[in-house]
Amino acid sequence: MRRKLAAGNWKMNGSRAALYELAKMAETLPEDPPEVLICPPAPYIAHAIEMVGPSIMIGAQDCHTAEKGAHTGDIATPMIADLGASHVIVGHSERRTDHGESDSDVRAKADAGLKAGLTSIICIGESEAQYDAGETINVLNAQLRGSVPDDIDPYRTVIAYEPIWAIGTGKTPTLDEIASAHAAIRTTLTDRFGDRADAIRLLYGGSVKPGNASDIFGIPEVDGALVGGASLKADDFVPIITALSES
Ligand code: 13P
């Protein structure tokens, strides 16, 4: 059985004051919650960890591939682990677009996360043009081939399927489309990693809200969500966590 994961990506949002939302989330979690993760902006990781205690895990949104060195402004995975954070998101479409990250960059970052003892959340997803052209599954397979390292620990490897056109738009694929994307991802991972792939969790991301979470979590092969906007406030994120715990 894969443990469910509700992950929040705050992107470049929040402030020290906004970290009180984390305390509110921790206080209002459902009984027997799934794993809950928040990835705040890097400057707030340490404060966030102090704020929440063990009920909410804290992660980073990106990392460098190297353990240390002359890379001004970058963050190494051993530093993220040193702070007490547990996860790192790699290959988010905003990183791929804003910073030109390739699949091989993402793969190296995922590898760096795993080597530092973190769980690497590897993001994949098609653009609107690729979706319209019916290329979704081919795109996902190519991204999986390019972005997932060979030497994974499946328990610390998470794949987040985030259609780019669904991020921050209020649009989502149909439930059938999410189901077939997740089924295809699972098949591709099983072809490559065999039974070990069973432990890899698959998250859906893109306009997950309290109103659509239950339906999405009812889909087989959806092990949780990577949530952007609706993870910023406890009033939005806790109902999503609750829907996951009830799924
Ligand atoms: P939204 O939930 O705001 O659409 O963002 C999804 C996302 O990009 C999470 O990484």
Atom 1 of ligand 1, residue of closest alpha carbon: 228
The amino acid at 145: R
Give distance in angstroms: CA of 241 to centre of ligand 1: 15
Is 92 annotated as catalytic? yes
Query: What confidence score (pLDDT) does residue 134 get?
Result: 96
Q: What is the mean pLDDT of the chain?
A: 97
Instruction: Say yes or no to pLDDT of 215 above 90.
Output: yes
Residue 134 CA to ligand 1 centre (angstroms): 22
Domain ranges of the chain: 5-85+101-237
Nearest to 110 by CA among 161, 138, 146, 69: 146
Residue 206 alpha carbon to ligand 1 centre in Å: 5
Of 35, 87, 92, 126, which is the active-site residue?
Answer: 92
Closest-CA residue, ligand 1 atom 9, reads 228
Tokens of 58: 């804290």
Select which of 126, 162, 182, 221 is catalytic.
162
Q: Tell me the whole-structure pTM to 2 decimals.
A: 0.97
- List the structure tokens of 178: 């999410």
64 close to 71: Cβ distance less than 8 angstroms: yes
Active site residue 128: no
What pLDDT sits at residue 19? Answer: 95
**Cα–Cα distance measured from residue 138 to residue 192, given in angstroms and rounded to the nearest whole number:** 16
The ligand 1 site (C-beta within 6 Å) comprises: 9, 92, 162, 167-168, 205-208, 226-230
Q: Which atom of ligand 1 is nearest to the CA of 229?
A: 3
Mean pLDDT of 177-185: 98
pLDDT in tens, 28-53: 999 989 999 999 999 999 999 998 98
At 122 the pLDDT is: 98
Q: Which atom of ligand 1 is nearest to the CA of 166?
A: 4
Give tens-digit pLDDT for 123-148.
999 999 999 999 999 999 999 999 99
User: Which ligand 1 atom sits closest to the C-alpha of 123?
Assistant: 10
Task: Answer yes or no: are the C-beta atoms of 237 and 25 closer than 8 Å.
Answer: yes
- Alpha carbon 104 to its chain's center: 18
Q: What is the pLDDT of residue 53?
A: 80
| Mean pLDDT within 197-211 | 97
Please give the structure tokens belonging to residue 224. 């949780």
The predicted pLDDT at position 174 comes to 97
**What pLDDT does 1 receive?**
79
Q: How far is CA 168 from CA 3, 11, 94, 196, 206, in A?
A: 26, 11, 11, 33, 7
Residue nearest to atom 2 of ligand 1 (CA): 228
What's the pLDDT score for residue 29? Answer: 93
* Helix and strand numbers, DSSP H then E, in the chain: 10, 8
Pick the CATH number of 5-85+101-237 from 3.90.1640.30, 3.20.20.70, 3.40.50.10190, 1.10.645.10: 3.20.20.70
Distance 69 CA to ligand 1 centre (A): 31
Atom of ligand 1 nearest to the CA of 11: 10
Q: What is the pLDDT of residues 72-92, one digit of tens each?
A: 999 999 999 999 999 999 999
The percent of residues in the chain predicted with pLDDT above 70, rounded, is: 100
Terminal CA-to-CA distance of the chain, rounded, Å? 13
